[in-house]
């Protein structure tokens, strides 16, 4: 069986494809008809993205519901994630059933069972009421849902059997606790897959030449060589780079400093290089304003098509698109 992360990743990729199909059918979620809502994927994505209940509704009821909240903007994260959540919750139920089966209804597990079914680690974590991966590592050492070492398998088995003997295992509680793990996984996938997919689609639609992060080794900078999420047109002649980042308000300042140094590093070496950050999530306004003093563009993912058009203008000679030039050089101190 797949790990929960692998399964959710697969469903996120499927949902992203549904998203692009629906974008074309609805003029970017502006025009809706009854025929669209005959498709269960569209029904789920559109209504979830509008923060509406989507289950057990007829196509006519879906159209009426969406028409009623026409001023509510489509939330891409909610819309795309709904499919992932629904399918992953069903998969969690399968994982719990498998864990119950191999442990005699959560009464006893052997080290061999733990090791051979590493993908069940999130279920053991939830069943044993261990709050986080950090706590799990502290207690058991080297263990992941991909591989569990022999010593860790023994520790998990001993810990679990003692816990099972003293506590009644509640399936509903396991589901609730695993839900928190799932939320973390989907947050990661939204930032890592969804937003980058939207930016990539915009660049391709506007015919902007680019390389994605996995396609090149890095962009040389004043201080270090590193990869951005996208480089335009390539790392040998970089005229623009794009960083895609989702942040929480708690991490906004840290992420802003990290991204700003990348911009200074690259724009300091290439004077005519556009620096772009696509920012989603709960960034603080102060962090966004600060980044805008280094990056040429700080935009949300919903502006990806407009951004791609501006990049094309720059590639075709419109120098007004470039907002900031950074002079950043490091020299050895030559003593006479």
Mean pLDDT of the chain: 94
Say whether pLDDT at 36 is over 80: yes
User: Taking the CB of residue 230, how many other CB atoms lie within 10 A of it?
Assistant: 23
According to DSSP, the residues that pair with 280 across neighbouring strands are 246
pLDDT of residue 168: 93
How far, in whole angstroms, is CA 84 from its chain's centroid? 12
Predicted confidence at residue 191, as pLDDT, reads 84
Domains of the chain in sequence order: 4-166 (no CATH), 206-321 (3.40.91.80)
The mean pLDDT of 215-225, rounded to a whole number, is 94
Query: Is a pLDDT exceeding 80 seen at residue 249?
Result: no
Q: Is the peptide bond before 233 cis (omega within 30 degrees of 0)?
A: yes
The pTM assigned to this predicted structure is 0.85
Which residue has 């992932």 as its token pair?
A: 84
Inform me whether the pLDDT recorded for 193 exceeds 80: yes
Residue 230 confidence (pLDDT) above 80: yes
- pLDDT the model gives residue 248: 79
Interval 253-277 mean pLDDT:
93
d(CA 3, CA 221): 38
Q: Band of the pLDDT at 226, cuts 50, 70, 90?
A: very high
pLDDT, one tens digit per residue, over 58-97 is 999 999 999 999 899 999 999 999 999 999 999 999 999 9
From 179, 184, 187, 188, select the one nearest 90 (Cα to Cα). 179
Q: What is the structure's pLDDT at 169?
A: 94
What are the b/e assignments for 131-148, b being 16+ CB within 10 Å?
eebeebeeebeebbbeeb
């Amino acid at each position: 069986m797949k790990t929960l992360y692998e399964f959710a990743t697969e469903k996120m990729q499927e949902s992203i494809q549904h998203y692009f199909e629906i974008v074309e059918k609805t003029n970017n979620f502006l025009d809706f008809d009854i025929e669209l809502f005959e498709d269960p994927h569209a029904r789920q994505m559109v209504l979830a993205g509008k923060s509406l209940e989507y289950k057990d509704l007829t196509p006519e009821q879906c159209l009426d519901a969406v028409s009623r909240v026409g001023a509510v903007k489509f939330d891409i994260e909610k819309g795309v994630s709904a499919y992932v959540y629904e399918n992953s919750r069903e998969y969690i139920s399968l994982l719990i059933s498998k864990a119950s089966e191999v442990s005699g209804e959560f009464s006893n597990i052997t080290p061999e069972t733990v090791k051979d079914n590493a993908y069940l680690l999130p279920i053991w974590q939830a069943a044993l009421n261990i709050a986080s991966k950090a706590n799990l590592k502290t207690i058991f050492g080297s263990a992941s849902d991909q591989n569990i070492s022999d010593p860790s398998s023994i520790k998990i088995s001993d810990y679990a059997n003692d816990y099972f003997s003293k506590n009644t295992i509640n399936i509903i509680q396991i589901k609730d606790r695993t839900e928190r793990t799932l939320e973390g996984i989907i947050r990661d996938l939204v930032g890592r897959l969804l937003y980058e997919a939207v930016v990539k689609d915009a660049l391709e639609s506007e015919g902007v030449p680019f390389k994605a992060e996995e396609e090149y080794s890095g962009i040389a900078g004043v201080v270090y060589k590193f990869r951005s999420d996208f480089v335009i047109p390539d790392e040998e002649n970089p005229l623009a780079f794009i960083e895609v980042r989702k942040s929480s308000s708690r991490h906004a300042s840290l992420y802003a400093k990290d991204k700003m140094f990348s911009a200074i590093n690259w724009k300091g070496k290439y004077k005519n290089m556009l620096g772009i950050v696509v920012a989603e999530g709960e960034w603080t306004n102060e962090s966004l304003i600060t980044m805008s003093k280094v990056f040429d563009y700080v935009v949300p993912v919903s502006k990806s098509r407009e951004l791609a058009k501006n990049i094309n203008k720059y590639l075709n000679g419109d120098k007004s698109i470039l907002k900031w030039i950074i002079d950043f050089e490091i020299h050895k101190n030559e003593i006479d």
